[in-house]
Amino acid sequence: MFSNLADSLDKTFRNLRGVGKISESNITDALRDVRLALLEADVEFGIAKEFIAHVKEKAMGADVLKSIKPGEQIVKIFHDELAELLGGDQVGLDLTPPARLVLCGLNGAGKTTTAGKLALRLKKEGRKPILVAIDLYRPAAIDQLATLAKQVDVPVYTPDASESDVVKVAREALAWAETQRHDVIIFDTAGRQEIDERLIEELKRLHTFLQPQETLLVADAATGQQAVSVAKHFDEAVGITGIILTKLDGDARGGAALSMRSITGKPIKYAGEGEKLDQLFEFHPNRMADRILGMGDIVGMVEQVASKIDEKDAMKSIERLAEGKFDFNDFLDQMRMLQKLGDMKGLLGLMPGFNKIKKQIPDAAFDPKRLKRTEAIVLSMTPDERRRPEIIKASRRERIAKGSGVKVLEVNQLLKQFGEMRKMMRSPNKMNKMMRQMGGGLGGKGGLPGMGGMPGLGGPGGGFGDLLKGFKGKFPF
């Protein structure tokens, strides 16, 4: 999400930075391009207009015009205003026990999946969530929530298929909840293809009965201009306390995030990026503003990696690399760490400057099937072959190829790439250069665990881009 907007803004601000002197004329021209970029990203017209007016007023200030780098100052003003538009400071949930959380929204927004994701996240934070299925129109939704509850290992209340009164079901669910150890109840409500009076009236009755601490609007990030009316209707009906954006990993243009926050005044509390149940993250306006302006989100990346990688295993890997040791067992450990991280393209998208070079990387590089094929080849080796790959001659290569279901050519390619990779890992000069380029980003001291043998990631203007060029052809995944 936001990739097209980010590309447009990058071009505009790059031109502005190159201007020797800032005037009202070139500020107006630049902000006209920004306004068009916002409108193309599906930001509501009135919100885009007001936003640009705020930025222009501050950009025309005397301190900016007289500063040594006015272009940089204007970018900072835009960043701060964008963060404010997205909500300012991050806002958490009111989880005063026993907390009641109601999820509402249109069909297809991902309410039921989000309920499962939220339950898992709260469970990891030490809470005791339970789920309640209260969508009485779609039996499939009730079955889906029951399946998700089993996957995240939390209790779930599922009503009888013949029930049609949401308040009655809610009352029975609360009675059931008294028999469960819990401090948070998440209610998955019904949606519609569009706003209608029946939906709103039902939601009002349920809301009046439950008196929840949080009423969260679950909205598809690709909603576009419709986002404004959807958010407004739900807020007027039940007074939403926050928004959860879903499908941020898709091709959404991003205007929904900007428009809904502005029109309701309610914070975006979480964002879903992917189908996996652990892909629900706190929404930080400042970090999102950084991402939109191509500055990345290093903190977010650290949080994601740290939550999925075992620190002891990571440190063992780094220590072996520091000693110049690297064999196929280490290689296998690194690949399995990568698999735990999930969507690598999405993760690398949090790196500063990644959007500028992502087109240089083939999609095949992020294909999980490729990792699996490479893993199969390594697993077809004997323990001795993994420790001493130099002994893998022609007959052994044929056996490994048959055992892993690939062609001998693929085994040869892996061994060649591994040899180059190993040579580089054992070269003090090349390793020191890599660590300098990492700048403490990944695999270095104080950086992220578990990425010691992977390409490092630096800031814009070098780092990651240079490393990618240096590692070209050396990594078999």
Per-residue pLDDT tens over the stretch 347-379: 665 555 555 555 555 565 566 777 788 889 999
110 annotated among ligand-binding-site residues: yes
| Residue 316 is labelled as binding a ligand | no
192 labelled binding-site residue: yes
Question: Any known ligand binding at 191?
Answer: yes
| Sign of the four-CA dihedral 338, 340, 341, 344 | positive
26 is in an annotated binding site: no
Q: Is 265 annotated as a binding residue?
A: no
Contact 159/134 with Cβ under 8 angstroms? Answer: yes
Confirm whether residue 409 is marked as ligand binding.
no
332 is in an annotated binding site: no
- Provide the edge-to-edge strand list for the sheet that holds 156-157: 156-157, 129-134, 184-189, 99-104, 214-220, 242-246, 268-272, 280-282
Domains located in the chain, CATH noted: 3-85 (1.20.120.140), 99-295 (3.40.50.300), 303-471 (1.10.260.30)
Mean pLDDT check: name the lowest of 25-29, 211-215, 385-389. Answer: 25-29
Structure tokens at 191: 């949606």
Q: 165 a known binding residue?
A: no
Position 396 scores a pLDDT of 94
**0.75 exceeded by pTM:** no
Does the annotation list 111 as a binding residue? Answer: yes
Helices (H), 139-220: 139-152, 166-177, 197-210
**In contact, 199 and 192? CB cutoff 8 Å:** yes
| pLDDT, position 65 | 57
Q: CA-to-CA distance for 164 and 170, rounded, in angstroms?
A: 11
**246 annotated as ligand-binding:** yes
Q: Which of 29-38, 125-134, 329-338, 412-421 has the lowest mean pLDDT?
A: 329-338
Confidence of residue 178 (pLDDT cuts 50, 70, 90): very high
286 annotated binding-site participant: no
CA distance 2 to 149: 32
